[in-house]
């Protein structure tokens, strides 16, 4: 990550390789970045802070970049603690600095820190501009992407969109990785519920001439912006990106997994792209991203206590909460004496929008029979 984004805009964010689960739930084996920026002008401006565990590192980087100057403003686009929990430290370090936010921003600052900074705050409204000298920030409210106070800022001179959590991704900046896979997983698990709100922001962004996107997680995007914006267009409208099948399996002793693997082989033999995710071994956040990526899915689950194996129950709850829709789905169940998984999965899927469940539903009793193998071949044909 180059520290200098432009002549007047500098990166001062940090990489986190200490946190195991982002938001205490999503694995981040490649870490994550908390991004902050400085705009140098008549009014020197910090753009967001970082998670409090990295406050001293962040402030040291800011002071090194400032070279004895005092910042005039701290712009707070998003109040989630991974970006805002160093506000108090920054306000104490720079006693002349004012904090810029909207009415909801300051209510949350009061809630988190019992201090609204009434004498040191600048409250902005939707569409309002704040002049920094040669640069100007235009604030565009983006509520529920993915918190209600969120706004983005468009710097009108250098045509930079400071996009808050939009266009963010898992993965620290000192680790090489492709943007798409972890950006997809980040989007659907963090932001995915709010597709309509993302659409509203994209329509507003379409009126701007954007040359760089500076998100609060992940790299600065400065080339091929149509690709990144196009991905957000797909994701926020719940469109499948590719024709293919996400096979999600939750097996107790391995027989249900064996069925899922046979289906994977059948599909690949037919030239169908697919991904098999064993959610007893891999976090459901990965499976969720694959389910949205492809236009079809298969859920293979063992019956447990006359109910779904718990991790599949959680998986389907997460899909519903993120507005899973408009997909073709097949079901495989297993139950040694009273198989119930298919009935329960169907009931959950039927609450979702435009889900087509294909036949046959495969019912395994303990281990696969020849009949089951034939049914799996039929499913593969229906999903090709």
pLDDT in tens, the chain (384 residues): 568 999 999 999 999 999 999 999 999 999 999 999 999 999 999 999 999 999 999 999 999 999 999 999 999 999 999 999 999 999 999 999 999 999 999 999 999 999 989 999 999 999 999 999 999 999 999 999 999 999 999 999 999 999 999 999 999 999 999 999 999 999 999 999 999 999 999 999 999 999 999 999 999 999 999 999 999 999 999 999 999 999 999 999 999 999 999 999 999 999 999 999 999 999 999 999 999 999 999 999 999 999 999 999 999 999 999 999 999 999 999 999 999 999 999 999 999 999 999 999 999 999 999 999 999 999 999 999
Under 8 Å between Cβ of 288 and 319: yes
Q: Please, is 334 exposed, middle or buried when counting C-beta atoms within 10 Å of its C-beta (0-12, 13-18, 19+)?
A: buried
Kindly report the CATH number assigned to the domain that includes residue 201: 3.60.15.10
C-alpha distances (whole Å) from 370 to each of 45, 160, 364, 365, 377 are 68, 60, 10, 12, 11
The answer to whether position 4 is within a domain reads no
Count how many domains the chain has: 2
Residues 253 and 228 in one domain: no
Domain hosting 378: range is 244-383
**CB distance 378 to 360 below 8 Å:** yes
DSSP-assigned states of every residue in 59-122: HHHHHHHHTT---SEEE-S--SHHHHTTHHHHHHHSTT-EEEE-HHHHHHHHHHHS---GGGEE
- Residue 114 lies inside a defined structural domain of this protein: yes
**The residue to which tokens 């519903």 are assigned:** 320
Look at residues 219, 236, 253 and tell me which one is the last residue of a structural domain.
236
The reply to whether 186 and 53 lie within a common domain is yes
pTM of the model: 0.96
């Amino acid at each position: 990550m180059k520290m200098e984004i432009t002549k007047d805009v500098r990166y001062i964010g940090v990489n986190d390789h200490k946190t195991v689960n982002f938001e205490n739930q999503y694995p981040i084996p490649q870490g994550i970045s908390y991004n902050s920026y400085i705009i140098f002008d008549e009014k020197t401006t910090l753009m967001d802070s970082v998670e409090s565990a990295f406050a001293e590192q962040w402030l040291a980087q800011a002071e090194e970049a400032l070279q004895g100057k005092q910042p005039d403003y701290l712009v707070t686009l998003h109040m989630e603690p991974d970006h805002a929990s160093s506000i108090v430290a920054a306000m104490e370090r720079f006693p002349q600095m004012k904090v810029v936010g909207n009415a909801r921003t300051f209510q949350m600052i009061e809630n988190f820190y019992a201090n609204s900074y009434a004498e040191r705050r600048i409250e902005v409204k939707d569409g309002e501009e704040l002049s920094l000298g040669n640069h100007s920030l235009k604030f565009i409210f983006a509520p529920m992407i993915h918190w209600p106070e969120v706004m983005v800022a468009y710097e009108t001179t250098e045509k930079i969109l400071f996009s808050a959590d939009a266009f963010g991704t898992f993965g620290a900046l000192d680790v090489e990785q492709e943007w798409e896979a972890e950006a997809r997983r980040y989007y659907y698990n963090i932001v995915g519920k709010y597709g309509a709100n993302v659409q509203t922001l994209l329509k507003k962004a379409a009126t701007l001439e954007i040359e760089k996107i500076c998100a609060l997680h992940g790299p600065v995007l400065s080339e091929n912006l149509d690709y990144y914006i196009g991905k957000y267009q797909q994701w926020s409208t719940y469109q499948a990106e590719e024709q293919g099948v996400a096979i999600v399996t939750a097996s107790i002793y391995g027989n249900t997994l064996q069925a899922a693997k046979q289906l994977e082989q059948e599909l690949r033999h037919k030239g169908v792209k697919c991904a098999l995710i064993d959610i007893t071994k891999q976090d459901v956040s990965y499976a969720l991203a694959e389910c949205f990526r492809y236009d079809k899915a298969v859920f293979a689950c063992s019956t447990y206590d006359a109910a779904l194996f718990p991790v599949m129950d959680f998986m389907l709850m997460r899909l519903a909460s993120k507005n899973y829709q408009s997909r073709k789905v097949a079901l495989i169940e297993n139950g040694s004496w009273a198989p119930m998984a298919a009935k329960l999965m169907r009931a959950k899927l039927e609450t979702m929008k435009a889900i087509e469940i294909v036949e046959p539903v495969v019912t395994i009793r303990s281990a696969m029979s020849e009949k089951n193998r034939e049914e799996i071949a039929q499913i593969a044909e229906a999903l090709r």
